Structures are given as C-alpha cells and as structure tokens.
Amino acid sequence: MALKLQVNTERLVRELEHLASYSDTPPPAITRILFTKPDLEARAYLKELFQEAGLKVREDPLGNLFARWEGHAPELPAVGTGSHIDAIPYAGMYDGTVGVLGGLEAIRALQQAGFKPHRSIELLVFTAEEPTRFGIGCLGSRALSGALSPEALRALKDSEGNSLEEVRQKAGYTGPLEEVRLPENHYAAFVELHIEQGPVLEQEGVPLGVVTAIAAPASLRVVLEGEGGHAGTVLMPDRKDALCAAAEIILGVEAFARGSGSINTVATTGFCEVHPNAINSVPSRVRLEIDVRDVEQSRRDQVVRNILQGVEQVCTRRNIRYSVEIINMDPPAKSASEVLRALVEACGEASVRFKLMVSRAYHDALFMARIAPTAMLFIPCRGGISHRPDEYASPEDIARGVQVLALTLAKLSQA
C-alpha cells in the first residue's frame, strides 16, 4: 500500500500553539491540570477539531475523549491512537499534545490521501495522565484498562480535599464510573506518538524511536510527624525535627537509586510539603512524594523496599512518627510484536531511520498494553528536555512522526 501522504505541518503547528494558549501559567510555561478551566477549554477546542474532521466524538464518565473514524467494518475492534493534554505545573507544550494533535493529523492525512480504513481508527484523549491533581498518573487509562476500580477512583481526593467525584460532576461528567472500563478486545491495537522526553534520539541523530518497553513506575507518599516548636527556645537535644528526618530520607532515596547496580534505576523526591513552613518554627510535619522507576521490576521493588527500611530506621532513631502509603507499583509494559512490526515497516516505507528503545517515562500506553497489543513511537525533543517550559520538538520531527504514525494506523486498520 504505497500511500502518498501529505502532512499539513503548518496547520498542525498552529493547532499545537493554540492548544498551548489554554494554560494557567503565562507562555512559554504550560500548566493544565485536570478539570481546571484551561483543561475544559482545551477539551472543547479539541472536540471542535475532531468534529471538523468528521470524527464521531464521545466522552466517558471520567472525561476520556474518543474520536472515531468509522471503517468499512465498524463491528470489528478498532485501532486506537492518542495521548494526553494535561500538563504538570510549568511544563512544556509538546508532552502528550503531539500524540493527540499528531494523531488527528495522521487521520486527516489518510483521509486526504483517499484511504478508507477497514477497522475503524479511534483517537483517544486520556483524562489526567499526569499525577498532579489526584496523586496518581494515568488516571484515565488506568480506569479504561481496569487497573483502577470505580471504588478506588471514588476514594481519590485532591490536595484541597475535593473528591474526584465532586470535581468530575462539576465538569459535567456525571455518568457511572462503572461504564469507563473497556473490554479486553475493544481495540485490535494501540499506538501512541510522543516526544521522547530524553536525549537519546537527538544525541544519536536518529529521527524516530520505536518503543519496545515502558519502564515500571512506582510512587510512595511519606508523612513525617515531629514535635515542632519555637526555633529559638527548643534546644537541639530536645528536638523532633520532621524536616531533618525528611532530609535524611530524601538523600537515602537518591543513594538507593544510584546504588542499584543499574543506570536504568531512577528515583526522585519531587514533592516536599513542610508544615508550618516558617523560618522560626521547627518543622512539625512533612509530606514527601517519591517516584521510583526501572525497566526491571524486581530492581525497582528492591529500591522501594530499601526506601521503606530507610524511613523506619531514620524515624526510629529520631523519634518521629511516620506513615507510608504506596500509591502505585506498576509492572513494566512490553510492546506487542505485531504493532512493532507495523511501525518498523512504516518507517521503511517512509525511508526514515529509527532506533528500538525503552521508554523511561510512563505513558497511557503503559495501561493500554493491558487491554490491547500496544507500542509507541518517539520523536526527538531538543536536549531531551521535558516537563519544562523550554521543551521543544521541531515541526520536521513532528511531521515525520505523524507520517509514520499514519502509515502504521493504515496497516493496522487493514489487518
């Protein structure tokens, strides 16, 4: 199938830039948190674009958005593609959005080329891939794949105490959460286009990455309770300083990851909330959120065990009360050979060099892999920078990713 595809790069870049204007922080920083005004406005904008492209749009009770291009055989499991549009505070404009608007452009390029899908092709916009608001990443794809039950969803509260239930209903998503989960064979295949969020493709001068596995993420919440008190009058031997205990734990997190024996182990204490957070008051309570990942699940689990032991040792020695909550400890995902094959063939047809590689970031594809044969396609991002306002992907790299995605979707929809 020698499809002559014309990617409308100019329009795509314009759409990415317009989408970036929906943000709670001024450009170039993007902040678009689940069900906030910018998120809802961005969703409305996308629905318009999807309808203009003649796609059938629906949303589920959690706000996952589906835009379907009906094929000859609508009764067959469709081919899915897509990503997310939410953005952590002070992020960039390409993380997730390239997979959503790039997926739309891939469909439009196929329509333009006169291609008719056999299996329907469905573009997904997943709710809350980022953990920012409710503390757990991939909320929408976890729920779709059954990795997060309706009961667990109903138990979620944000840092201001708003429940997911209240927040989603206020946003207009009122259906029963039991309707979100998709059956195993709902999709024949799923492909996610995403920026690499790392430096490898750029460093090696390779234009595309075909992702063979997605690293296994885990996240923990640690609450430390000391005594607090006046910074001038509580003598050092009498102190139970929660922040000093946290400092030892944070350095332990770093040391356990560095000492795991593999460069593939990473661990970060990205969230640290101090109470009362005043210069002349001994910290009485600290909340830490810790992110641990590795392509090898057993090595990741060993680091988590080391961290838990470390918390216990530090708090016993310092007489600090503590609680630890494991938010998630997910297995890695292996890409499906039939989807990898379609991606590799598409790279060949487009005469684009590619590299087989692992994704160290997690993505919605990590959970879609539980219900459908799944793989990912990476494009380079400048300096490997992501989750920062200076995140950047060039129009050429985006267009190349869209072209190969379109060819891959065409192959999979004919399979």
Binding site for ligand HGY (CB under 6 A): 129-130, 137, 361-362
Segment 56 to 75, residues that bind Mn ion, using CB under 5 A: 72
**Binding-site member from 95, 105, 294, 391 for Mn ion (CB under 5 A):** 95
**Contact criterion met (CB below 8 Å) for 401 and 346:** no
Alpha helix segments (H runs only) across 226-382: 242-258, 297-318, 337-349, 365-368
- Specify the length of the chain in residues: 415
For ligand HGY, give the closer residue by CB, 50 or 367: 367
Cβ neighbours of 1 (radius 10 Å): 8
207 binds Mn ion (CB under 5 A): no
Q: Please, which residues have CB within 8 angstroms of residue 361's CB and are 6 or more apart in sequence?
A: 194, 197, 198, 215, 386
Q: Is 230 annotated as a binding residue?
A: no
Q: Is 95 annotated as a binding residue?
A: yes
Q: Reduced to 3 states, what is the DSSP secondary structure of residue 333?
A: strand
Q: Is 186 annotated as a binding residue?
A: no
Smallest separation (angstroms) from ligand HGY to the CB of 401: 17
| Closest residue by beta carbon to Mn ion | 72
Say which DSSP state 352 is in.
Answer: -
Closest CA relative to residue 156, chosen from 175, 172, 177, 171: 177
Smallest separation (angstroms) from ligand HGY to the CB of 217: 7
For ligand HGY, give the closer residue by CB, 197 or 403: 197
Q: Is 387 annotated as a binding residue?
A: yes
Smallest separation (angstroms) from ligand HGY to the CB of 362: 4
What distance in Å separates the CA atoms of residue 29 and residue 91, rounded to the nearest whole number? 6
360 binds Mn ion (CB under 5 A): no
Cβ neighbours of 12 (radius 10 Å): 22
Say which DSSP state 27 is in.
Answer: T
Query: Of Mn ion, ligand HGY, none, which one sits near residue 137, judging by CB under 5 to 8 A according to partner kind?
Result: ligand HGY
Query: Of ligand HGY, Mn ion, none, which one sits near residue 72, judging by CB under 5 to 8 A according to partner kind?
Result: Mn ion
Smallest separation (angstroms) from ligand HGY to the CB of 212: 17
Rg (CA), the chain: 22
Q: Reduced to 3 states, what is the DSSP secondary structure of residue 324?
A: strand
Smallest separation (angstroms) from ligand HGY to the CB of 163: 22
296-319 core/surface letters (b: 16 or more CB in 10 A; e: else): beebbebbbebbeebbeebbeebe
* Cα angle for residues 175, 85, 328 (degrees, 5° grid): 70
x-marked contacts with Mn ion along 14-53 as a string, rule CB under 5 A = ----------------------------------------
Query: Of ligand HGY, Mn ion, none, which one sits near residue 364, judging by CB under 5 to 8 A according to partner kind?
Result: none
Smallest separation (angstroms) from ligand HGY to the CB of 366: 9
Residues in binding site for Zn(2+): 84, 95, 130, 194, 387
Give the footprint of Mn ion on this chain (CB under 5 A): 72, 95-96, 118
